[in-house]
Structure formats: C-alpha cells, structure tokens
Amino acid sequence: MLGSGGREHALSWKLAQSPSLTKLYAAPGNPGIAEEAEVVSLDATDHDAVVAFCREHGIALVVIGPEAPLVDGLADSLNAVDIPVFGPSKAAAQLEGSKGFTKDLCAQADIPTGAYVRVHSLDLAVAALDGFKAPYVLKADGLAAGKGVVIAKDRTEAQAALADMFGGGFGQAGAQVVIEEFLEGEEASFFALTDGKTVLPFGTAQDHKQVGEGDTGPNTGGMGAYSPAPVLTPELQSRAMDELVRPTVAAMAGRSTPYSGVLYAGLMLTEDGPKLIEYNCRFGDPECQVLMMRFTGDLAAVMLACAKGELAGADADFADETALTVVMAAKGYPGTPEKGGAIALNDAEAEGAKVFHAGTREQDGALIANGGRVLNVTATGANVTQAKARAYAAVDKVDFPTGFCRRDIGWKEVAREGN
C-alpha cells in the first residue's frame, strides 16, 4: 500500500481484514496505518526502489492510493517487471491527469458532459469566453491538488482567473485550460472497479468540498462524506454505468490503453440525467473511508482481480447501512495548517466508530497533527441522521485543541430524511 492519508488508512484497515492477505507493508504510512501494516520507508517517486522492494519481499500486489504516482507511471514501472498493481497505467491515468484528454474522450465516445473548449493561450481563452454564459467554469488542464478549478461569476473574474492560470499560478497544470459549460444540479460520486474489460459498480457517496458550514467558503479536499448517496437512485446508477463508465472503459480499451483500478466519476445530476464533471483515477478522500466502512468483501482479492484482468464473475458487497465521516482539520486549513497540535483520541472508537488517521505523526509516544486534514471520524447507522449523530458523538470525545470540523456533514440528506 502506497500513501499516507486517511484514504490509505481506510484501505490498509480493510486489506488487513482480507482473508486472502498474508502480509501488508505500507509506505510512507502514518501512525494509524502502522496499526494495520508494517510501515517501511519507500519513496514512490523512486520507481527502481519500489520495484526492488517488491522483488525482495515477493509482493503479490501493489495498491497505489494517490493520483500523483499513477499519473507519474509507477504502475507501468511495476507492470513492466510483472508485479501486479491496483491502479491504472500512466496513459490511462490521463483520465484524471488531463481534463482536456477526458473531455475529448467524452466527445468521441458520446459521453454526457458539459460543452467545452481547450485553449492554449490567454488570448484564445479570453476570446473563447464569448461561446459561454456566466458563471464561467475554468479548469487548469493538469493535476493541481484539487485547486485547478475556478467558477467565475462574471467576465471580469473569468479574465483574471485565466490570466492567473496562463501566468503560472497553477504551475505546469495551467499551461492548457479547459473552459466548460456550467452544469446545474446536485453533485454525487459514483465508483466502479475495472480490470480494463469487466466493470463492477463499487458504491456511491457524496462529499462536502467547502470548508464552511452550509457549503460555504473555499474548496478543500473534502470536509466529510457519506455513503451511499440516496440521490443516486438505482436508476441513475444504471444510467451512470451505461452512459458514462462502460463507454469510457470501452473507449480506453479501444485505444489500447485499457484502464484498470478504480474509476471515480464525479457526476452532476442534471435535469437531463447524470453528466460527467470529472474522472479521478483513484478512490476519493474521504469518500474511500465511508466506502470501506460498508464493504464486506475480500478487498485484496477483488483488487488483485482488477490487476490481473480477472474481474469477470467477481462481486462487490456492501452492508446495507450508511457510513458518515467527519474530517477534523488543523486550524488554517485549507490555507497553511497549524502543525504539531496535540491530539488525544480518548475512547472515540468505543461505540463502534472508527478514527482514520489522515495527517498525524507520533512524537515521543504522543499523537500530533501533521497536515491539513488530520483525522476522519467515521461511524455507521441505519440512515444519514443516525450515522451523523454517532460520528459527532465520537468527534466530541477527541481532544484536538488546534483542530476544527464542520458540524453539518450530511445536512442535505438529513433534511431529506425529515430531520
């Protein structure tokens, strides 16, 4: 397992429960992951070192948590020496690595998404705004740590954002820009596992991207999430599979760059049905945490089946309950977070809740904050209302004076449940 966040803690926790697992190593890991795996020091950007470690320890499957090593081709380096990997090749990870790539693929394969243009210079971008209405959706093409999307309310704001993108404000990610139609509706996330041919639905979730209550303030990596997302009805899930995910997997196979691993579709549920906002080539963080709370199968076995092209006939079973996670972040996030704050988990897990470590470190035997998003306090219940009450009861047991969290995770669904 490669990675060090809450997503990787949740994956390690589930992998450790896999009947087919014999030994789990994790790098670089975190104190939560260290309870599930032997943590080793290994740099995912050093492909030779990763390959050497896998050979030395007879690793049967490498699970790559975050997008950066996937877009960087780590799966290719491992596959080249026949080490199975859960996660796509560099070419297939372009579905997340280049927004323009994905939009072009959608256009060719007739996959529903917003109208768009790709532009390579500020002049062309400003001229292209004529073809769109406010609010303007502007996206730096490459990976920008979740910060590459600007929704500009008018032309002045759009031009300023474009000038920033082409001026290097998003580094290389902004050398190309996608301008896109603004889609109206509710957002939801749909996950599927694939080995390049077979596609297996793997749950739904909704997250809260904004830092403030009532979904206000700057965007973050996600302040909380719940699964399943009842807005994604069985009918909408079938449409997402038939109209988006299956055609995408088929188009990637048709280009001889088959996609394997998890495909995370960010959807807008519009009046005309689900439309693609974006693809990610890895699990969502913190959506993964709530999916793993509900997944009841052998995770190592299903991931290995993806890696080996043997997914046909596999199934993915999830408990028929809701899981909800609350992100406890360090003050300052999503700006510069305060590091080093003391954390005491106390008996937060006593009533069946689970605390995933996202940005923690151990110092002299004590737990301290070491990142923006620090803990993911997660609980299950019969519905969102109950899972939320249990998750916040656990949050309230945690002592983390330099931390904060939103108190309203799941609010839309709680309202729909009549509470």
Which residues are at the interface with ligand AMP (CB under 6 A)? 114, 137, 146, 149, 180-183, 187, 209, 266, 277-278
Nearer to ligand GLY, 32 or 84 (CB): 32
Which of ligand AMP, ligand GLY, none does 183 bind, CB closer than 5 to 8 A by kind?
ligand AMP
Nearer to ligand AMP, 20 or 219 (CB): 219
DSSP string, 88-157: --TTTTHHHH-HHHHHHHHHHHT--B--EEEESSHHHHHHHGGGS-SSEEEEESS--TT--EEEESSHHH
Q: Determine the residue with CB nearest ligand GLY.
A: 222
| CA atoms of 203 and 186, how far apart (whole Å) | 17
Instruction: Name which position in 72, 287, 408, 413 contacts ligand GLY (CB under 6 A).
Output: 287
What residues does 295 pair with on adjacent strands?
318
Nearer to ligand GLY, 162 or 183 (CB): 183
Kindly report the three-state secondary structure assignment for every residue of 143-211.
CCCCCCEEEECCHHHHHHHHHHHHCCCCHHHHHCEEEECCCCCEEEEEEEEECCCCEEEEEEEEECCEE
Which of ligand AMP, ligand GLY, none does 149 bind, CB closer than 5 to 8 A by kind?
ligand AMP
Nearer to ligand GLY, 180 or 287 (CB): 287
Q: Would you state the torsion angle of the CA atoms of residues 80, 85, 87, 92, taken in this order, to the nearest 10 degrees? A: 20
DSSP string, 277-344: EEEESS--TTHHHHHHHHB-S-HHHHHHHHHHT--TT----B-SSEEEEEEEEETTTTSSPPPS-EEB
Binding span for ligand GLY by CB under 6 A among 132-140, 164-172, 282-290, 343-351? 282-290
Minimum distance between the CB of residue 268 and ligand GLY, rounded to whole angstroms?
A: 15
| CA atoms of 44 and 64, how far apart (whole Å) | 9
| CA atoms of 7 and 100, how far apart (whole Å) | 27
| CA atoms of 166 and 163, how far apart (whole Å) | 5
- Does the protein bind ligand GLY through residue 69 (CB under 6 A)? no
DSSP string, 219-244: E-S-SEEEES-TTS-HHHHHHIIIII
The closest of 410, 412, 405, 349 to 227, measured between CA atoms, is 410
Q: Which residue type does 386 have?
A: Q
What residues does 56 pair with on adjacent strands?
none
Whether residue 37 contacts residue 25, with contact meaning beta carbons closer than 8 Å, is answered with yes
The closest of 42, 34, 40 to 365, measured between CA atoms, is 34
CA distances from 207 to 211, 267, 288, 327 (A): 11, 12, 11, 11
Instruction: Name which position in 100, 247, 284, 359 contacts ligand GLY (CB under 6 A).
Output: 284
Which of ligand GLY, ligand AMP, none does 179 bind, CB closer than 5 to 8 A by kind?
none
Minimum distance between the CB of residue 399 and ligand AMP, rounded to whole angstroms?
A: 32
- Does the protein bind ligand GLY through residue 280 (CB under 6 A)? yes
Which of ligand AMP, ligand GLY, none does 285 bind, CB closer than 5 to 8 A by kind?
ligand GLY
Minimum distance between the CB of residue 103 and ligand AMP, rounded to whole angstroms?
A: 10
Minimum distance between the CB of residue 362 and ligand AMP, rounded to whole angstroms?
A: 32
Instruction: Name which position in 141, 195, 207, 408 contacts ligand GLY (CB under 6 A).
Output: 207
Minimum distance between the CB of residue 180 and ligand AMP, rounded to whole angstroms?
A: 5
Tokens (6 digits) for 191: 């996950």
Minimum distance between the CB of residue 277 and ligand AMP, rounded to whole angstroms?
A: 5
- Does the protein bind ligand GLY through residue 36 (CB under 6 A)? no
Which of ligand AMP, ligand GLY, none does 72 bind, CB closer than 5 to 8 A by kind?
none
Which of ligand GLY, ligand AMP, none does 180 bind, CB closer than 5 to 8 A by kind?
ligand AMP
Nearer to ligand AMP, 129 or 183 (CB): 183
Tokens (6 digits) for 94: 């372009």
Minimum distance between the CB of residue 278 and ligand AMP, rounded to whole angstroms?
A: 4
- Does the protein bind ligand GLY through residue 222 (CB under 6 A)? yes
Binding span for ligand GLY by CB under 6 A among 231-239, 281-289, 298-306, 373-381? 281-289
Minimum distance between the CB of residue 268 and ligand AMP, rounded to whole angstroms?
A: 6
- Does the protein bind ligand GLY through residue 298 (CB under 6 A)? no
Interface positions with ligand GLY (CB under 6 A) = 207, 221-222, 280, 284-285, 287
